[in-house]
Amino acid sequence: MNGSRKAGPGRVRIIGGSLRNSRLEVPDLPGLRPTAERVRETLFNWLAPVIEGMDCLDLCAGTGALGIEALSRGAASVQFVERDARAAQALRANLVRLKADQARVNVTDAGSFLQQAGRAHDLVFLDPPFALDLWEGLAGQLERGGWLAARAWIYVESPRAVVPDLPPNWQLHREGHAGEVRFALYRRALPLS
């Protein structure tokens, strides 16, 4: 679950792909901050040439809008991680209703999830609750734990004024701003040995 503003039920819409215009039921939970439609539109325009067949990891999933948008646009699978049981239950219900069976929801916090043995993913969505300042710690766990494919893409969302200190081999590909949010897409390079 991320951020600081509330989202009312039914306010998140998938904007492209096979599930286009599907609505996600959003529980009324304090702190739930779905990624804005225009930000998702820009991100998935950037990813359009490469999204097909990707294995994805949606950390701090909240509504799951990022991961479900990836599935809608041709990703092979998405593993969702969400610590709030009510948000995870709503996410599961949305996945069942949308018949998105190539997804798995893990109810745990992202840090604990990343402590287990990693499986490499092609694309990771890193959009933790802004107030908790988790970017550096989670990025380090992703990099060290075997969670990233050799040339993985990593999407990072943060407050506009915050550029998280990320692993040096994560190279900025594109970035933008929307309101008080900074969003950026990184490409992993192999670490120097």
Find where tokens 């840090």 sit. 111
Find where tokens 């192999």 sit. 190
pLDDT digits (tens, 9 = 90+) for 39-68: 999 999 999 999 999 999 999 999 999 999
pLDDT digits (tens, 9 = 90+) for 112-168: 999 998 899 999 999 998 888 899 999 999 999 999 999 999 999 999 999 999 999
Nearest partner of 94 among 71, 116, 60, judged by Cα: 71
Domains and CATH numbers, the chain: 12-188 (3.40.50.150)
CA distances from 53 to 2, 62, 71, 92, 185 (A): 27, 23, 9, 22, 18
Give the per-residue pLDDT at 1. 45
